[in-house]
Amino acid sequence: MSALFDAFKNILDADRTYMQNLQTLEGWMFINLVALKCYYTLLNLLKKHELNRKYATQDFLLFLAELKKVKINNTWHNAEVTREAAELLGKLEILPVT
């Protein structure tokens, strides 16, 4: 359980809230709950494919942030993806990258 709170505080920077009212606080808590769920889903996925020794979850999230979509003529397309990114996403079976 302490690892959960550690991730909540250190990975999500969610140890302090500056919310002014109850509705805003509830929304903030919900978003952090979703983020924590995504974090642990990714961590378990890295462990399942034995990649957690090579990639830290936080580093992998930064890696995923580099993936982009572009809108051309009102249609969304994946931006160019490196071979390393495509191979890694393929290993994790996250999404088809073309």
Give whole-number Cα distances, 72 to 25, 89, 92, 98, in Å.
38, 24, 28, 16
Tell me the residue ranges of DSSP E strands in the chain: 69-72, 75-78
Tens-place pLDDT, residues 23-80: 888 888 898 889 888 888 988 999 999 998 988 888 888 877 888 889 999 999 888 8
Q: Are 61 and 68 in contact (CB under 8 A)?
A: no
69 phi, psi to nearest 5 deg:
-120, 145
Radius of gyration of the chain, Cα coordinates, nearest whole angstrom? 17
At residue 12, the pLDDT reads 66
Give the up-direction half-sphere exposure of residue 24: CA atoms within 13 A in the CB hemisphere. 5
Domain spans, the chain: 1-55, 66-98
